[in-house]
Amino acid sequence: MVIYVESEDYNVTTIPILEEIDKVERALNPMRNDDGEDSVIYVLSISTVIKEVNSSAGRVVKSFFSGVAEAIGSDELSDQVNDTIDANQDILGNYAIPDQQERVDQILQEMPPNALAKLVRDVGRDADGDGIKEAELAGYWNRAVIIIGISDDLGNTTISQLIEDTQNKINAIPEIDENGVSSWERINLTMTLTGPVPITNAVTEKSFEMFWDVFPYGILFVALGLFLFHCDLLQTGRIRFVQGVKVVIIAGLPTLCSVWITMGIIGFTNYEVTMTVIIVGPIILALGVSYGLHITNRYAESKGTPQEKMAEAMNSTGKAVLLSALTTIIGFISLTFTPMKPIQTVGWSLAGGIVVVYIMT
């Protein structure tokens, strides 16, 4: 994940801005050496680099005397040196933002330009926020990034929960005064959580919201099509309402149930859900209706008692529908062999959905 830092009025490398970035880092990764047990492996920003460089002198001295103490077999010497260094952190430096801006500027001047450009940038000024830059360069670094390394093993925490928790921690950092104005607003500072993980999660959630808005229209149009083609209106000009409704129920209801069952199975198994899963519903709806129509039409064309007509429909069209379902499942299963996780999810979902829709039909 990435936190995009925007400072319209001040350089992001001024001490007040660096201290705010430092607060975010410490809130997101309070235990820097826990190997990602809190789901965050590392946090990297211009603040991190400055703190590392500022504490390098003390760490070098500690490491040197630790080696000397080990060589002469005197742990007491190492402890004494460490205590002395800790007591003189103001002189040697510690893992914190320096108190003096001159020290910060010195560290920045010693950094390679290509490395510095990956953490801070001057992107110009857009004073009125209309999207049109009044100046191509602001004359100071007004953008920065905080890069967050996420552990592969999140345990019972979902991506959505991790993103929400991260955003809540960011929102809790600025102090609010009695007028309801935050400390970040007073200095025109904003920090936005972004990056591949939050963007993918946001797009997935938005896709599902739009799916539930659009899918009912698909159900309505499918039901309307089934009714029009089977109520004899187009064939004879007269409406056989009951017959049309029967076809809608027989061919459409099992398919609709199959869509809900498939979505329920995906959620119940906690399988990774991506934005591509929204195509599962329409595809299952289309294929399931066709399976139901084949059997229904064959049943209507057969003669005899209802039991005989159903037996004939299943013996003839039922075998064709089974073969069609099997070949469709094989085709969708092939998607699971791709290295891309979203495509694998679609393959398993569609293959399982076809099995469900065949059983329901």
| pTM as predicted | 0.65
In this predicted structure, what is the pLDDT of residue 144?
Answer: 92
Q: What is the DSSP string of 26-95?
A: HHH-S-TTSTTTTSEEEEESHHHHHHHHHTHHHHHHHHHHHHHHHHHT-HHHHHHHHHHHHHTHHHH--S
Contact, 162 vs 150, CB < 8 A? yes
C-alpha span between 119 and 43 (Å, rounded): 12
**For residue 321, what pLDDT is reported?**
84
Quick one: pLDDT at residue 123?
A: 83
Which residue type, as a one-letter code, is found at position 309?
K
Q: Which long-range contacts (CB under 8 A, 24 or more apart) does 116-120 make?
A: 116/46, 118/145, 119/44, 119/45, 119/46, 119/49, 119/144, 119/145, 120/12, 120/13, 120/46, 120/144
pLDDT at position 176: 84
What pLDDT is attached to residue 279? 83
pLDDT of residue 77: 52
Cα–Cα distance measured from residue 178 to residue 165, given in angstroms and rounded to the nearest whole number: 26
Residue written as tokens 């993980």? 197
Question: What does the pLDDT profile of the chain (361 residues) look like in tens digits?
Answer: 899 998 888 899 999 999 999 999 989 888 877 777 778 888 889 998 888 887 776 555 555 446 555 656 656 655 555 556 555 555 555 778 888 898 889 888 888 888 888 899 888 876 656 666 666 777 888 899 999 988 877 777 777 788 888 888 888 888 887 777 888 888 888 898 988 878 877 887 888 888 888 888 888 888 888 888 777 776 677 777 887 888 888 878 888 888 888 888 887 877 766 777 778 888 888 888 888 777 777 777 778 887 887 788 778 777 888 888 899 899 989 988 888 877 888 888 889 888 988 888 7
Identify the structural domains of the chain with CATH numbers, from first to last. 2-55+95-194 (no CATH), 202-360 (1.20.1640.10)
What are the tens digits of pLDDT across the range 40-94?
A: 888 889 998 888 887 776 555 555 446 555 656 656 655 555 556 555 555 555 7
